[in-house]
């Protein structure tokens, strides 16, 4: 991790190394959602604006899964199946990075906020207030 003032440059990717990305983060806050897809994937959410996310490699190997409103673009590596990031329904112009897919990061460094995604429609405004993109 590189620290330039209060910003940190991090890298991550999928299990097989085909997909790799770099992101700049300024907050060590993440979301733990209990909805069916997040729970089953083990996805811990770190929202970053598009200018703070760079896909370094593997774009051609990404596969996308959508469901329900088809707004969220759930991307994953077509080789190993790991979901290292996606475009979330709550912040469709942003990237949502899976903390479990970051290199050299301690999850204990992040303040984890619980989100009741099983009742997404009722609670989505709580996530939208997480970042000032609305």
Question: Listing from the earlier edge strand, what are the strands of the sheet with 29-33?
Answer: 85-86, 95-98, 44-48, 29-33, 111-115
Q: Per-residue pLDDT tens for 96-133? A: 999 999 998 889 989 999 998 888 788 887 776 655 44
**Which residues, 6 or more positions from 130, have their beta carbon under 8 angstroms from its beta carbon?**
29, 31, 47, 113
Task: Answer whether residue 5 shows pLDDT above 80.
Answer: no
pLDDT of residue 130: 56
- Predicted TM-score (pTM) of the model is 0.85
Q: Give the CATH number of domain 2-128.
A: 2.170.150.70
What per-residue string of b and e applies to 67-103 under the rule 16 or more CB within 10 Å gives b?
Answer: eeeeebbbbbbeeeebbbbbbbbbbeebbbbbbebbe
Q: Per-residue pLDDT tens for 20-38? A: 999 999 889 999 999 888 8
Which range in 9-13, 72-76, 92-96 is most confidently predicted, on average pLDDT?
Answer: 9-13
Which range in 55-64, 70-79, 99-108 is most confidently predicted, on average pLDDT?
Answer: 55-64
Rounded CA gap, 19 and 26, in Å? Answer: 23
Rounded CA gap, 33 and 42, in Å? Answer: 9
pLDDT band at 134 (very low <50, low <70, confident <90, very high): very low
pLDDT of residue 121: 80
Average pLDDT over every residue of 77-106: 93
Average pLDDT over every residue of 82-93: 91
Q: Is the dihedral of CA 27, 73, 43, 126 positive or negative?
A: positive
Average pLDDT value for the chain: 87
């Amino acid at each position: 991790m590189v620290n330039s003032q209060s910003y940190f440059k991090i890298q991550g990717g999928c299990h097989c190394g085909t997909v790799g990305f770099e992101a700049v983060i300024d907050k060590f806050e993440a979301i733990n959602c209990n909805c069916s897809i997040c729970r089953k994937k083990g996805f811990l959410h770190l929202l970053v604006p598009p200018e703070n996310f760079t896909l370094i490699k593997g774009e051609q190997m990404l596969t996308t899964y959508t469901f329900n409103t088809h707004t969220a673009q759930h991307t994953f590596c077509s080789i190993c199946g790991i979901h290292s990031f996606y475009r979330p329904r709550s912040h469709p112009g942003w990237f949502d990075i899976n903390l479990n897919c970051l290199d050299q990061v301690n999850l204990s460094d992040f303040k984890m906020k619980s989100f009741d995604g099983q009742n997404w429609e009722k609670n989505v405004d709580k996530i939208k207030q997480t970042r000032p993109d609305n």
